[in-house]
Structures are given as structure tokens and as C-alpha cells.
Amino acid sequence: MIKEVEKKFQLKFNQKLRDLVFEKEVTISNVIDHIYKKTGIEKEKIIKKISMGNKLPGKKILIELCLFFDVSINYFLPPYSIFLREFRESYSLSISKLSKMIGISRQLLHQYENGEKLPSVKNFYIISKFYNKSIENIINYEIKQYKYSVCEEGK
């Protein structure tokens, strides 16, 4: 199940990137050059991170993509990560406090919220029980509004 979800989010990321490239009438080479100039990350690594694998590229690359295309970081994040952040904040909980309450490390929760890692089935279950939501509702969370600007995420 987890591998299928990871693949689904990677495909959505790739499709969103292709849509932006087409919409803005740029080439993927333009995008890669921009990221290279801004971050110093080798072009081969950028290509690998944005086109292969089963997870989102690192935060530096993701932020530069958002700045290049003028979109919110939430545009690229998988719905579950936005759900996790929005619900935690709606309960006025810090990551540390939530971590202690549900027994999942602060580092893992941070990675989940930033789309860097997909929760295991066990952790999805723990989180879903805490918020009284089904795992399916969390995975397919519909984003109601974009709260976070690129600038806030880039700090």
C-alpha cells in the first residue's frame, strides 16, 4: 500500500512540474539551470531528484521550483503532509508536543509534514486514530486553502 501511495505522489509531482513547464513556456533545462544557479547543486543531481525516485526532491530544490514558477510550496506537497500540518496547528500543538502525545518522533513528524517521507502504515494508523479520521481521508485530503507562502517556507 505505502509503495503505491509513494508512486502516486511522485507521478502527481512529475505531472504538476510538466504542467508548469508547459504553462510558463519554459524548458526543463531552464528550470534546472535556475536551481543550479541558486543552490549550487550539481545539475545531474537536480535531474535525478526531480525526475526519479518515489519521493519529493529535497527542500532546497522544492523551494527553488516554487520561486521559479511563482507557486505555493503546497502546490507540490502531497495532501497528507498538508493535512498533518493543518490539523496539528488547528489543535494548537507543536510538533514536539504531538510527538510526545502519539509516540512518533519529532523528526519523523517533521519529515511527514514536509512531504520528505511517507508515514508507515502503523504511523498512519496512529495519526488517524488521534485525529479520528480514516487513513484514506488523510491520504486524499482536499486542500481547502493555501496557508503557507513560498517565502515563509524558504526562511
The pLDDT of residue 7: 67
Write down the domain spans for the chain.
2-72, 79-150
- Given this structure, which CATH class describes domain 79-150? mainly alpha
Architecture of domain 2-72: Orthogonal Bundle (1.10)
Report d(CA 126, CA 103) in Å as an integer: 9
Cell 543531481, residue located:
45
Cell 519523523, residue located:
108
Confirm if 84 and 123 have CB atoms less than 8 A apart.
no
Confirm if 127 and 104 have CB atoms less than 8 A apart.
yes
Low-confidence ranges of the chain (pLDDT < 50): 144-155
* CA distance between the termini of the chain: 34
pTM for the predicted model, two decimal places: 0.61
Average pLDDT, the chain: 81
